[in-house]
Amino acid sequence: MVDQEIGWIAAIIIGGIAGWLAEQFMKSDMGLLMNIVLGIVGAAIASAILSFFGIVLGGWIGYLILGFIGACLLIWIVRAIRGRTA
């Protein structure tokens, strides 16, 4: 079985979509750049967490799912931290 990797341009596009989906799901308001960052960083974080449990997702769809999960997690963490300091 061959592990599929995506390129940088695809990572930016999929990260933007994942970040936008997480933004809509979490009812947050961020810009395009933040959506891309959330999607890419979220995918890396979710991939690390899930691989610890032996779950590995690859390819475009896997990256989108991981980006969505990770971005939602990041939005939740930021809201929890802001709630304590505000």
**Distance of alpha carbon 3 from alpha carbon 59, whole angstroms:** 8
Its pTM stands at: 0.81
Q: What is the mean pLDDT of each run of 10 residues along the chain (86 residues)?
A: 64 88 90 88 88 85 90 91 70
Q: Report pLDDT for 25.
A: 94
Q: Report pLDDT for 1.
A: 36
Q: Report pLDDT for 28.
A: 87
Q: Report pLDDT for 72.
A: 94
Q: Report pLDDT for 11.
A: 82
